[in-house]
Amino acid sequence: MRRLQFATKTADESVNNSAVLQNDNHLSFYGEAGKKYHVALALIIVATVDAMDVKLSMPSGATFKGQTRDIDASPVNALWDGSEKAIAELDGTVLAEGVVQMGTTAGTVVLQYAQNSATVGNTTMKAGSTLLATRVTTG
């Protein structure tokens, strides 16, 4: 399998009046069972609401340990375990970085997001957002 996987959004994707997490159409990678991956996300977000919830959906047994950083507003470093997390950025870029340790089940790791609370107004993950996954274990 490839040691390096890169995904970039080729089109904007919006959520409107929904707090239900949805899979991103572009930002995902395939993880091999038992392997470890360094993952870096650069998310370009434009929202008319308070916040966006983001999550990494992973196969059973996989874990994520990392942090997020808002680079456009007042810088905020926050630990993130891959579960649902509110990002307060309204218009700019958020970086997330960490390590995915796959369990005994291989499969796709995918970014999910929704509005923090259902609000009539677009929350958009912009084209140009990226995901980079590098396998750091051999075999």
Give per-residue pLDDT as tens, 91-120.
Answer: 788 888 999 999 999 999 999 998 888 888
What does the alpha-carbon distance between residue 68 and residue 58 come to, in Å, rounded to a whole number? 18
Higher pLDDT, 41 or 88: 41
pLDDT at 12 over 90: yes
Percentage of the chain with pLDDT > 70?
A: 88
State both tokens at 72. 């456009």
- φ, ψ at 26 (rounded to 5°): -130, -30
Q: What pLDDT, on the 0 to 100 scale, is given for residue 88?
A: 67
Confidence of residue 128 (pLDDT cuts 50, 70, 90): very high
Residue pair 74/65 in contact by the 8 Å Cβ criterion: no
Give per-residue pLDDT as tens, 67-99.
Answer: 887 776 555 667 788 887 777 666 788 888 999
Q: Which domains does the chain have, with CATH numbers?
A: 4-135 (2.60.120.760)
Q: What pLDDT, on the 0 to 100 scale, is given for residue 85?
A: 79
Sort 63 into a burial class: Cβ within 10 Å, 0-12 / 13-18 / 19+. Answer: middle
